Structure 1
Amino acid sequence: MSKPVITLNGLKLVIMLGMLVIIFAGIKVAADIIVPFTLALFIAVILEPLVGLIEHCRIPRVLAVTLLTGLFIMLAVVLIAYLGTSLNELARTLPQYRSSLIVPLQAIEPWLRHIGISVSVDELIKYIDPSAAMTTLSGLISQLSNAMFSVFLLLLTVVFMLLEVPQLPAKLQRVMHHPRDGMAAIQRAVNAVSHYLVLKTAISLVTGLVIWIMLAAMGIRFAFVWGLLAFALNYIPNIGSVLAAIFPVMQVLVFHGAYDALMVGLGYLLVNMIFGNILEPRIMGRGLGLSTLVVLLSLIFWGWLMGPVGMLLSVPLTIVVKIALEHTEGGQGIAILLGDKLPDTPAD
């Protein structure tokens, strides 16, 4: 009698996996619509605690959302304007990289030949084309000039999401077959994602500020750009902090020398060890419930499915999927695989 049960459970698992494939394929096709909506949803999750704090001061929710949105727009305008100026300056200095790279490459050439690697600096320089980087930067600058409209639409979506929050629980209860269990699962997912995003945003902001101050104190050009990059990439688990250090270290290596590049690299390492390996685990605790391997695989998967936004939101998206699977009969086994510990075994 046990074989039909196993077959039925296996069939449910296959059907559920097939549905997931169809859903993910739809997300991939409709990424241009789903990605901004998902980003707006997670921004609303981050801002909701701030709206709640303002409401505690006996300020109406509409006014609280308006004040918070106005502040966000002002910061976005200043940020985009400053970033555009920095990128323009960076684009103007790119041609200097070609001539500046010749000296360190010529210094390395005899050492490479000594260990048996034959490299021609003149041939290698031909492959270094700053015009390609300038084209990329020019496109990025033009996108920044047109970004205000996209930011406006994104914030407009966030505003309506925040205004909809008080009525949302009642609406969801009306459409659920099991309102108590469904709302408990939704509340658990919202609490986990909100806890992660709020703390991760605060830690990323402090990390970006520290990197900016450190590079500015060392006299490194474009310190603001690299600090902003460190803030954004700190959302990416495991490899984000490493990616954020590559470009500033390369810049310092070309214009300032190996010693300064080593100091900058050590500075990044120290900052990431303090914030990423000491403070962040202490502040966040072990409440995510995801294994280290799953975090890495989710980074690859969501990055492929939704692009850079998927990489930034890979952990909260995986948390939501795991909690959803835990409350489905066929998905509990997959939820166990995603977790960081074994479930409690029932006593005999």
Structure 2
Amino acid sequence: MPRALIILVGIAGAVILLFGIREVSSIVGPFVLALVLVIAVSPVRTWLAARRAPIWVQVAVPFLILVMVLLAMAGVLTISAVQLGSLVPSYTREFQALLVDAQNFAVAKGVSNEQLDRAIESFDPQRIIGIAQSLLGGVIGVFSGLFLIVVLLLAMCLDAPATARILSTSEDRRPAVVTALDTFAHKTRRYLIVSTVFGLINAVLNVLALTVIGVPLPLLWGVLALIANYIPNIGFVLSLMPPAALALLDGGVKQMLLVIAAYTAINVVTQSFILPKFLGDAVGLSTTMTFISLIVWTFVLGPLGAVLAIPLSLLTKALLIDSDPAAKWAAALVSNRPPP
């Protein structure tokens, strides 16, 4: 077949598949989340297996760890979202006062009323805070199906020992596929662990900074910073805009600038200087592919797709590229690194 026809058929098949996944995103999202969580705690099962622990212990311990983490996250997110929803309407008067001050300042500088009206329509702090509500709401929507996630976790934890044995025995017959899946699990686990550690550091520092500055709901914005840490490229901006907008409403421009300065300083130190040294080549995706994966998986799975964009891209890369020895050129393009 002509190569152009093969490319067109492949693109058409990918589009059909993505739209199909989007239609069943309520099932695919929890499934991928459960898979990623099981991969994250697989070292615990390996450690128990090396010490000859009974099979039920190898299954129960990782499962209980994941369930406790899920319950804690669901509780914190739910309480924080309720607090945010009750807090935002109370700042209507402050928002109107800010609009009046901005209008007076702009008129004094010679800005027309028509330009002011367009600027006011385009800027609404409550819409910016709505970004946090949308992101948290999407994750809470997944946690609302907690029963499905727990069942999937239990099934995957039960199958994990047998799956590991099957992959190890199949390495001679399908070495490329087994190596690709093992690389996917290793990179995903390393990415999750490092991102979680630095996300927690960022969240703690942000909570301390917001508490000192006096911004309401610092714990909520810390949780948002932890979640946004998994979103490539734009996670920092998403975590910054809602507390900055709330600081503007609560304490004025000076408090907003303090929030922006604190977040920027924390992000530059942890994300730009320290994190790359620990993360290294864990992702194996170019900056362009990372951004494209963020757009695609957010479109397919919603807010949860943004959080799981990197693991989903690593899984796709493992199944379609890394498992094919003839696709080394494609792997080089995706990772932006020449093949050895």
Q: Give the shorter-chain TM-score range.
A: 0.7 to 0.9
Aligned to 1:29: 23
Q: 1:336 to 1:13 in 2, by over 3 A?
A: farther
Matches within 5 A, 1:67-106: 67-106=61-100
Q: Which one-letter code corresponds to 1:322 in the other structure?
A: K
Matches within 5 A, 1:217-236: 217-236=212-231
Aligned to 1:341: 337
Aligned to 2:248: 253
Aligned to 2:305: 310
Q: How many residues align?
A: 338
Paired-residue identity, %:
24
Matches within 5 A, 1:202-221: 202-221=197-216
Distance in 1, Cα, partners of 2:269 & 2:130: 37
Matches within 5 A, 1:106-117: 106-113=100-107, 114-117=109-112
Cα deviation for residue 154 of structure 1 reads: 0.7
CA contact (8 A) 2:40 2:189 kept: yes
CA contact (8 A) 2:77 2:140 kept: no
Aligned to 2:265: 270
Distance in 2, Cα, partners of 1:196 & 1:139: 25
CA contact (8 A) 2:298 2:306 kept: yes
Q: 1:57 to 1:202 in 2, by over 3 A?
A: farther
Q: 1:89 to 1:198 in 2, by over 3 A?
A: closer
Distance in 2, Cα, partners of 1:147 & 1:293: 28
CA contact (8 A) 1:98 1:129 kept: no
Distance in 1, Cα, partners of 2:310 & 2:116: 43
Give the structure, 1 or 2, with the largest relative contact order (CA under 8 Å, sep 6 or more): 2
Q: Which one-letter code corresponds to 1:328 in the other structure?
A: D
Q: Which one-letter code corresponds to 2:290 in the other structure?
A: V
Cα deviation for residue 182 of structure 1 reads: 2.1
Distance in 2, Cα, partners of 1:129 & 1:264: 18
Give the counterpart of 1:244 among 239, 244, 264: 239
Q: Which one-letter code corresponds to 2:194 in the other structure?
A: L
CA contact (8 A) 2:285 2:334 kept: yes
Distance in 2, Cα, partners of 1:238 & 1:129: 24
Q: 1:285 to 1:139 in 2, by over 3 A?
A: closer
Aligned to 2:155: 160
Distance in 2, Cα, partners of 1:144 & 1:34: 14
Taking structure 2 as the reference length, the TM-score comes to 0.83
Structure 1: give runs of 5+ residues left out of the alignment: 1-6
Q: Which one-letter code corresponds to 1:340 in the other structure?
A: N
Give the counterpart of 1:180 among 130, 153, 175: 175
Distance in 2, Cα, partners of 1:98 & 1:172: 59
CA contact (8 A) 2:232 2:290 kept: yes
Aligned to 1:3: none
Q: 1:105 to 1:333 in 2, by over 3 A?
A: same
Higher Rg of the two aligned structures: 1
CA contact (8 A) 1:200 1:235 kept: yes
Distance in 2, Cα, partners of 1:126 & 1:288: 40
Cα deviation for residue 71 of structure 1 reads: 4.4
CA contact (8 A) 1:91 1:137 kept: no
SS at match of 2:112: coil
Cα deviation for residue 44 of structure 1 reads: 0.9
Q: Which one-letter code corresponds to 2:336 in the other structure?
A: D
Distance in 2, Cα, partners of 1:136 & 1:266: 20
Taking structure 1 as the reference length, the TM-score comes to 0.81
Cα deviation code 1:250-292 (max 9, x no counterpart): 1111111111111111111011111211111010113432211
Q: Which one-letter code corresponds to 2:233 in the other structure?
A: N
Distance in 2, Cα, partners of 1:336 & 1:27: 27
Matches within 5 A, 1:325-336: 325-328=321-324, 331-336=327-332
Aligned to 1:39: 33
